[in-house]
Amino acid sequence: MSVPDTKKTPLHEVHEGLGATVTEFAGYRMPLRYGSETAEHQAVRTSAGLFDLSHMGEIFVTGPQAGAALDYSLIGHLSALAVGRARYTMICDADGGVLDDLIVYRLAAETYLVVANAANAATVRSELTARAGKFDGATVDDRSDAYALVAVQGPKAQGILGKLTDAALGDLKYYAILPGAVSGVDALIARTGYTGEDGFELFVSAGDAVATWAALTEAGGDDLRPCGLSSRDTLRLEAGMPLYGNELTTETTPFDAGLGRTVKFDKGDFVGRAALAAIADKAPERTLVGLVARGRRVPRHGYDIVGSDGTPCGVVTSGAPSPTLGKPIAMGYIHAGHTEDTDLAVDIRGKHEPVDKVALPFYRRTP
Protein backbone atom coordinates (compact mmCIF):
# COMPACT_ATOMS: atom_id res chain seq x y z
CA MET A 1 0.00 0.00 0.00
CA SER A 2 1.35 3.41 -0.83
CA VAL A 3 1.09 6.09 1.81
CA PRO A 4 1.12 9.71 0.69
CA ASP A 5 4.14 11.61 1.91
CA THR A 6 3.55 13.64 5.02
CA LYS A 7 3.99 17.32 4.26
CA LYS A 8 6.07 19.71 6.32
CA THR A 9 5.48 23.40 6.77
CA PRO A 10 8.28 25.88 6.03
CA LEU A 11 8.76 26.14 9.82
CA HIS A 12 9.29 22.43 10.42
CA GLU A 13 12.98 22.76 11.26
CA VAL A 14 12.25 25.64 13.62
CA HIS A 15 9.81 23.43 15.51
CA GLU A 16 12.35 20.63 15.71
CA GLY A 17 14.94 23.07 17.00
CA LEU A 18 12.51 24.13 19.73
CA GLY A 19 12.08 20.49 20.79
CA ALA A 20 8.44 20.30 19.76
CA THR A 21 6.43 17.14 20.16
CA VAL A 22 5.35 16.65 16.57
CA THR A 23 2.14 15.00 15.45
CA GLU A 24 0.62 14.22 12.09
CA PHE A 25 -2.39 16.39 11.45
CA ALA A 26 -4.28 16.59 8.16
CA GLY A 27 -1.30 15.15 6.32
CA TYR A 28 1.20 17.57 7.85
CA ARG A 29 3.87 17.15 10.48
CA MET A 30 2.73 19.76 13.00
CA PRO A 31 3.87 20.82 16.47
CA LEU A 32 1.51 19.40 19.10
CA ARG A 33 3.27 21.25 21.93
CA TYR A 34 6.71 22.61 22.67
CA GLY A 35 6.65 22.08 26.43
CA SER A 36 3.64 22.20 28.70
CA GLU A 37 0.46 22.68 26.65
CA THR A 38 -1.22 24.14 29.73
CA ALA A 39 1.47 26.82 29.96
CA GLU A 40 1.01 27.51 26.23
CA HIS A 41 -2.74 27.89 26.76
CA GLN A 42 -2.24 30.27 29.69
CA ALA A 43 0.31 32.31 27.73
CA VAL A 44 -2.34 33.08 25.09
CA ARG A 45 -4.92 34.00 27.75
CA THR A 46 -2.57 36.27 29.72
CA SER A 47 0.27 37.32 27.40
CA ALA A 48 0.77 36.05 23.84
CA GLY A 49 1.33 32.87 21.86
CA LEU A 50 2.90 32.19 18.46
CA PHE A 51 1.39 29.55 16.18
CA ASP A 52 2.41 27.98 12.88
CA LEU A 53 -0.79 27.50 10.88
CA SER A 54 0.90 27.00 7.53
CA HIS A 55 -1.05 23.79 6.99
CA MET A 56 -4.20 25.82 6.36
CA GLY A 57 -5.30 26.22 2.74
CA GLU A 58 -5.09 29.60 0.98
CA ILE A 59 -7.32 29.66 -2.10
CA PHE A 60 -7.68 32.83 -4.14
CA VAL A 61 -10.84 33.63 -6.08
CA THR A 62 -10.33 36.52 -8.45
CA GLY A 63 -12.03 38.33 -11.31
CA PRO A 64 -15.02 40.58 -11.94
CA GLN A 65 -17.38 37.75 -10.96
CA ALA A 66 -15.39 36.55 -7.96
CA GLY A 67 -18.01 37.82 -5.51
CA ALA A 68 -20.86 36.31 -7.50
CA ALA A 69 -19.03 32.99 -7.73
CA LEU A 70 -18.51 32.92 -3.96
CA ASP A 71 -22.13 33.90 -3.30
CA TYR A 72 -23.14 30.85 -5.32
CA SER A 73 -20.48 28.55 -3.84
CA LEU A 74 -20.76 29.43 -0.15
CA ILE A 75 -23.60 30.08 2.30
CA GLY A 76 -22.49 33.66 3.03
CA HIS A 77 -23.04 36.88 1.08
CA LEU A 78 -19.49 37.59 0.05
CA SER A 79 -20.21 40.08 -2.76
CA ALA A 80 -21.55 42.36 -0.02
CA LEU A 81 -18.34 42.10 2.01
CA ALA A 82 -16.38 45.36 2.13
CA VAL A 83 -12.82 45.39 0.83
CA GLY A 84 -10.46 44.82 3.74
CA ARG A 85 -12.99 42.85 5.78
CA ALA A 86 -13.36 39.17 6.57
CA ARG A 87 -16.30 36.84 7.11
CA TYR A 88 -16.72 33.46 8.81
CA THR A 89 -18.69 31.25 6.43
CA MET A 90 -19.10 27.68 5.20
CA ILE A 91 -19.20 25.65 2.04
CA CYS A 92 -22.08 23.16 2.00
CA ASP A 93 -23.08 20.31 -0.24
CA ALA A 94 -26.44 20.20 -2.04
CA ASP A 95 -28.00 18.53 1.02
CA GLY A 96 -26.90 21.36 3.29
CA GLY A 97 -24.15 19.30 4.93
CA VAL A 98 -21.03 21.25 5.82
CA LEU A 99 -17.98 20.51 3.64
CA ASP A 100 -15.81 23.00 5.49
CA ASP A 101 -15.94 26.15 7.55
CA LEU A 102 -13.96 29.03 6.11
CA ILE A 103 -12.77 32.54 6.64
CA VAL A 104 -13.06 34.64 3.50
CA TYR A 105 -11.09 37.89 3.23
CA ARG A 106 -11.87 40.48 0.57
CA LEU A 107 -8.44 41.81 -0.36
CA ALA A 108 -9.60 43.96 -3.29
CA ALA A 109 -12.80 44.48 -5.26
CA GLU A 110 -12.01 41.47 -7.44
CA THR A 111 -9.74 39.48 -5.11
CA TYR A 112 -10.86 37.18 -2.33
CA LEU A 113 -8.76 34.93 -0.12
CA VAL A 114 -10.55 31.80 1.10
CA VAL A 115 -8.85 30.09 4.05
CA ALA A 116 -9.79 26.43 4.39
CA ASN A 117 -8.97 23.78 6.97
CA ALA A 118 -5.95 21.74 5.92
CA ALA A 119 -7.86 18.47 5.84
CA ASN A 120 -10.48 19.97 3.54
CA ALA A 121 -8.36 22.22 1.36
CA ALA A 122 -8.38 19.84 -1.61
CA THR A 123 -12.17 19.43 -1.37
CA VAL A 124 -12.69 23.17 -1.10
CA ARG A 125 -10.42 23.79 -4.06
CA SER A 126 -12.17 21.25 -6.29
CA GLU A 127 -15.67 22.34 -5.21
CA LEU A 128 -14.87 26.03 -5.69
CA THR A 129 -13.34 25.29 -9.07
CA ALA A 130 -16.40 23.33 -10.17
CA ARG A 131 -18.90 25.84 -8.80
CA ALA A 132 -17.04 28.90 -10.08
CA GLY A 133 -16.93 27.20 -13.49
CA LYS A 134 -20.44 28.59 -14.04
CA PHE A 135 -18.96 32.10 -13.95
CA ASP A 136 -16.76 33.24 -16.83
CA GLY A 137 -15.34 36.09 -14.80
CA ALA A 138 -14.03 34.12 -11.82
CA THR A 139 -10.78 32.19 -11.41
CA VAL A 140 -9.88 29.82 -8.55
CA ASP A 141 -6.21 29.46 -7.67
CA ASP A 142 -4.95 27.33 -4.76
CA ARG A 143 -1.78 28.98 -3.44
CA SER A 144 -1.56 26.98 -0.22
CA ASP A 145 2.01 25.85 -0.86
CA ALA A 146 3.16 29.38 -1.63
CA TYR A 147 1.95 30.79 1.68
CA ALA A 148 2.87 30.35 5.29
CA LEU A 149 0.46 31.42 8.02
CA VAL A 150 1.72 32.52 11.41
CA ALA A 151 -0.60 33.68 14.19
CA VAL A 152 0.18 35.90 17.16
CA GLN A 153 -2.64 35.62 19.68
CA GLY A 154 -3.23 37.08 23.11
CA PRO A 155 -3.62 40.39 24.92
CA LYS A 156 -0.01 41.37 24.19
CA ALA A 157 -0.21 40.46 20.48
CA GLN A 158 -0.68 44.02 19.24
CA GLY A 159 2.21 45.35 21.29
CA ILE A 160 4.53 42.65 19.96
CA LEU A 161 3.49 42.89 16.32
CA GLY A 162 3.54 46.69 16.54
CA LYS A 163 7.30 46.56 17.09
CA LEU A 164 7.74 45.02 13.65
CA THR A 165 5.36 46.95 11.43
CA ASP A 166 4.25 50.47 10.61
CA ALA A 167 0.81 49.15 9.66
CA ALA A 168 -2.00 50.84 11.56
CA LEU A 169 -2.79 47.92 13.86
CA GLY A 170 -4.80 50.11 16.21
CA ASP A 171 -7.22 50.92 13.39
CA LEU A 172 -7.48 47.33 12.20
CA LYS A 173 -10.85 46.01 13.32
CA TYR A 174 -11.67 42.46 14.35
CA TYR A 175 -12.27 40.45 11.17
CA ALA A 176 -10.37 42.93 9.00
CA ILE A 177 -7.19 42.58 6.95
CA LEU A 178 -4.61 44.91 5.47
CA PRO A 179 -1.36 44.49 3.57
CA GLY A 180 1.79 45.64 5.34
CA ALA A 181 5.44 44.96 5.91
CA VAL A 182 6.33 42.87 8.98
CA SER A 183 10.05 43.17 9.75
CA GLY A 184 10.57 44.12 6.13
CA VAL A 185 8.61 41.20 4.70
CA ASP A 186 5.41 41.62 2.69
CA ALA A 187 2.48 40.29 4.68
CA LEU A 188 -1.26 40.25 4.81
CA ILE A 189 -2.10 41.18 8.39
CA ALA A 190 -5.50 39.93 9.56
CA ARG A 191 -7.13 40.53 12.92
CA THR A 192 -8.58 37.05 13.15
CA GLY A 193 -7.92 33.97 15.21
CA TYR A 194 -9.18 30.79 16.78
CA THR A 195 -8.35 31.33 20.42
CA GLY A 196 -10.98 33.66 21.87
CA GLU A 197 -8.33 36.35 22.34
CA ASP A 198 -7.35 39.42 20.39
CA GLY A 199 -4.66 38.63 17.88
CA PHE A 200 -3.37 38.57 14.37
CA GLU A 201 -2.84 36.09 11.57
CA LEU A 202 0.00 36.87 9.16
CA PHE A 203 0.03 35.47 5.65
CA VAL A 204 3.57 35.59 4.26
CA SER A 205 5.42 33.88 1.44
CA ALA A 206 6.57 30.40 2.39
CA GLY A 207 10.16 31.56 1.90
CA ASP A 208 9.69 34.34 4.46
CA ALA A 209 8.19 32.14 7.17
CA VAL A 210 11.38 31.43 9.11
CA ALA A 211 12.45 35.08 9.14
CA THR A 212 8.98 36.20 10.23
CA TRP A 213 8.87 33.64 13.05
CA ALA A 214 12.34 34.69 14.19
CA ALA A 215 11.46 38.39 14.16
CA LEU A 216 8.29 37.77 16.17
CA THR A 217 10.18 35.56 18.63
CA GLU A 218 12.74 38.30 19.20
CA ALA A 219 10.15 41.08 19.45
CA GLY A 220 8.02 39.05 21.86
CA GLY A 221 10.79 37.95 24.18
CA ASP A 222 9.43 36.39 27.35
CA ASP A 223 5.94 37.70 26.56
CA LEU A 224 5.54 35.39 23.56
CA ARG A 225 5.52 31.60 23.77
CA PRO A 226 5.41 29.21 20.81
CA CYS A 227 2.17 27.24 20.98
CA GLY A 228 1.18 23.94 19.41
CA LEU A 229 -2.04 22.41 18.18
CA SER A 230 -2.88 21.00 21.61
CA SER A 231 -3.28 24.42 23.18
CA ARG A 232 -4.94 25.72 20.03
CA ASP A 233 -7.64 23.07 20.53
CA THR A 234 -8.31 23.89 24.20
CA LEU A 235 -8.29 27.62 23.43
CA ARG A 236 -10.89 27.30 20.69
CA LEU A 237 -12.97 24.90 22.78
CA GLU A 238 -13.12 27.37 25.69
CA ALA A 239 -14.12 30.04 23.17
CA GLY A 240 -16.95 27.78 21.93
CA MET A 241 -15.60 27.71 18.39
CA PRO A 242 -16.48 24.67 16.27
CA LEU A 243 -13.82 22.39 14.83
CA TYR A 244 -14.41 20.74 11.49
CA GLY A 245 -14.50 16.97 11.92
CA ASN A 246 -15.89 17.37 15.44
CA GLU A 247 -18.77 19.86 15.65
CA LEU A 248 -19.03 20.24 11.88
CA THR A 249 -19.20 17.39 9.38
CA THR A 250 -21.03 16.61 6.16
CA GLU A 251 -23.72 15.10 8.41
CA THR A 252 -24.35 18.41 10.16
CA THR A 253 -25.94 21.59 8.84
CA PRO A 254 -25.09 25.13 9.91
CA PHE A 255 -28.42 25.18 11.78
CA ASP A 256 -27.49 22.13 13.86
CA ALA A 257 -24.34 23.92 14.98
CA GLY A 258 -26.25 27.05 15.99
CA LEU A 259 -24.73 28.92 13.07
CA GLY A 260 -27.90 29.44 11.04
CA ARG A 261 -27.25 33.19 11.03
CA THR A 262 -24.37 32.56 8.62
CA VAL A 263 -26.79 31.23 5.96
CA LYS A 264 -27.85 34.16 3.76
CA PHE A 265 -31.01 33.49 1.78
CA ASP A 266 -31.35 37.04 0.43
CA LYS A 267 -28.56 36.72 -2.14
CA GLY A 268 -29.92 34.47 -4.87
CA ASP A 269 -29.22 30.85 -5.57
CA PHE A 270 -26.39 28.93 -3.92
CA VAL A 271 -25.37 25.32 -3.50
CA GLY A 272 -27.41 23.83 -0.66
CA ARG A 273 -30.03 26.57 -0.70
CA ALA A 274 -33.10 24.39 -1.20
CA ALA A 275 -32.09 21.93 1.50
CA LEU A 276 -31.18 24.64 3.96
CA ALA A 277 -34.33 26.69 3.24
CA ALA A 278 -36.43 23.63 4.00
CA ILE A 279 -35.03 23.38 7.53
CA ALA A 280 -34.35 27.06 8.28
CA ASP A 281 -37.55 27.67 10.23
CA LYS A 282 -37.87 24.24 11.80
CA ALA A 283 -36.55 23.17 15.14
CA PRO A 284 -33.23 21.44 14.39
CA GLU A 285 -33.01 17.71 14.89
CA ARG A 286 -30.17 18.30 17.29
CA THR A 287 -28.62 21.20 19.09
CA LEU A 288 -25.01 21.97 19.94
CA VAL A 289 -24.60 22.56 23.66
CA GLY A 290 -21.85 23.31 26.14
CA LEU A 291 -21.25 20.92 29.03
CA VAL A 292 -19.21 21.35 32.20
CA ALA A 293 -18.37 18.20 34.14
CA ARG A 294 -19.00 18.20 37.87
CA GLY A 295 -16.24 15.66 38.42
CA ARG A 296 -12.71 15.50 37.14
CA ARG A 297 -13.04 12.83 34.47
CA VAL A 298 -13.10 14.31 30.98
CA PRO A 299 -15.95 13.83 28.49
CA ARG A 300 -14.27 13.21 25.15
CA HIS A 301 -15.13 13.07 21.44
CA GLY A 302 -17.57 10.25 20.71
CA TYR A 303 -18.80 9.62 24.26
CA ASP A 304 -22.58 9.37 24.72
CA ILE A 305 -24.50 12.13 26.45
CA VAL A 306 -27.07 10.46 28.72
CA GLY A 307 -30.43 11.97 29.70
CA SER A 308 -32.31 11.82 32.98
CA ASP A 309 -33.83 8.47 31.96
CA GLY A 310 -30.35 6.98 31.76
CA THR A 311 -30.40 6.45 28.00
CA PRO A 312 -28.26 8.20 25.37
CA CYS A 313 -29.69 11.50 24.10
CA GLY A 314 -26.66 12.89 22.30
CA VAL A 315 -22.95 12.66 21.72
CA VAL A 316 -19.87 14.62 22.76
CA THR A 317 -18.05 16.21 19.81
CA SER A 318 -15.11 17.80 21.67
CA GLY A 319 -13.96 17.65 25.26
CA ALA A 320 -10.90 18.57 27.27
CA PRO A 321 -9.78 19.70 30.67
CA SER A 322 -10.21 23.49 30.60
CA PRO A 323 -7.15 25.29 31.93
CA THR A 324 -9.14 28.48 32.50
CA LEU A 325 -12.14 26.92 34.24
CA GLY A 326 -10.12 24.24 35.99
CA LYS A 327 -12.80 21.70 35.07
CA PRO A 328 -13.47 19.39 32.14
CA ILE A 329 -15.58 21.03 29.43
CA ALA A 330 -17.20 19.65 26.31
CA MET A 331 -19.37 20.49 23.37
CA GLY A 332 -21.83 18.00 21.98
CA TYR A 333 -25.09 17.49 20.15
CA ILE A 334 -28.31 16.75 22.01
CA HIS A 335 -31.21 15.29 20.04
CA ALA A 336 -34.46 17.22 19.68
CA GLY A 337 -36.81 16.31 22.52
CA HIS A 338 -34.00 16.22 25.07
CA THR A 339 -32.88 19.82 24.89
CA GLU A 340 -34.87 20.74 28.02
CA ASP A 341 -33.37 17.88 30.00
CA THR A 342 -31.34 19.41 32.81
CA ASP A 343 -30.25 16.15 34.43
CA LEU A 344 -27.49 15.18 32.01
CA ALA A 345 -24.50 12.91 32.30
CA VAL A 346 -21.78 11.66 29.99
CA ASP A 347 -21.00 7.97 29.70
CA ILE A 348 -17.28 8.02 30.45
CA ARG A 349 -16.07 4.47 29.78
CA GLY A 350 -19.14 2.89 31.35
CA LYS A 351 -19.81 5.26 34.21
CA HIS A 352 -22.39 8.06 33.96
CA GLU A 353 -20.63 11.20 35.15
CA PRO A 354 -22.91 14.21 35.80
CA VAL A 355 -22.49 17.33 33.67
CA ASP A 356 -24.15 20.74 33.66
CA LYS A 357 -25.40 22.25 30.43
CA VAL A 358 -24.13 25.80 30.00
CA ALA A 359 -24.43 28.54 27.40
CA LEU A 360 -21.51 28.80 24.97
CA PRO A 361 -18.84 30.08 25.00
CA PHE A 362 -17.21 28.79 28.16
CA TYR A 363 -14.81 31.72 28.11
CA ARG A 364 -15.20 35.27 26.84
CA ARG A 365 -12.34 37.73 27.05
CA THR A 366 -12.84 40.95 28.93
CA PRO A 367 -12.46 43.76 26.41
Partner 1 sequence: MSNVPETLSYTEEHEWITEPSDGVVTVGITAYAADALGDIVYVSLPQEGATVEAGEPCGEAESTKSVSDIYAPVTGEVVAVNGAVEEDPAVINTDPYGEGWLLKIRTDGDGPDLLDAPAYSKLIEEA
Mark the binding-site residues for substrate, compressed into ranges. 201
Decide: is 298 part of the binding site for partner 1 (CB under 8 A): yes
* 196 neighbors 189 (Cβ within 8 angstroms): no
Q: Which of 38, 139, 158, 249 binds partner 1 (CB under 8 A)?
A: 38
* Distances from the Cα of 351 to the Cα of 19, 302, 310, 341, angstroms: 38, 15, 11, 19
Q: How many CB atoms lie within 10 A of CB 283?
A: 11
CB nearer partner 1, residue 49 or residue 57: 49
* Beta-ladder partners of 113: 60, 105
Q: Which of 33, 156, 225, 338 binds partner 1 (CB under 8 A)?
A: 33
Length of the chain measured in residues = 367
Stretch in the footprint of partner 1 (CB under 8 A) among 94-102, 193-201, 219-227, 295-303: 295-303
Decide: is 245 part of the binding site for partner 1 (CB under 8 A): no
Q: Which of 92, 320, 329, 334 binds partner 1 (CB under 8 A)?
A: 320
Q: Residue 340 has what DSSP assignment? A: T
Stretch in the footprint of partner 1 (CB under 8 A) among 46-54, 76-84, 128-136, 297-305: 297-305
Q: Which of 143, 163, 300, 357 binds partner 1 (CB under 8 A)?
A: 300
DSSP per-residue letters across 196-236: SS-EEEEEEEGGGHHHHHHHHHHHHGGGEEE--HHHHHHHH
Q: How many CB atoms lie within 10 A of CB 212?
A: 22
Going by the annotation, the residues of the binding site are 201
CB nearer partner 1, residue 180 or residue 328: 328
Instruction: Tell the smallest beta-carbon distance from residue 235 to partner 1 (Å).
Output: 11
Decide: is 46 part of the binding site for partner 1 (CB under 8 A): no
Instruction: Tell the smallest beta-carbon distance from residue 349 to partner 1 (Å).
Output: 8
Q: Which of 134, 296, 364, 365 binds partner 1 (CB under 8 A)?
A: 296
Stretch in the footprint of partner 1 (CB under 8 A) among 30-38, 85-93, 213-221, 258-266: 30-38
What is residue 102's three-state secondary structure? strand
What is residue 164's three-state secondary structure? coil
Decide: is 297 part of the binding site for partner 1 (CB under 8 A): yes
Alpha helices in the chain (DSSP H): 12-17, 37-46, 66-73, 121-132, 157-162, 209-220, 229-238, 273-279
Q: Which of 27, 84, 162, 321 binds partner 1 (CB under 8 A)?
A: 321
Q: For residues 167 and 161, what is the distance between their CA atoms, to the nearest angstrom?
A: 10
Binding site for partner 1 (CB under 8 A): 21, 32-33, 36-38, 230, 233-234, 296-298, 300, 320-321, 349
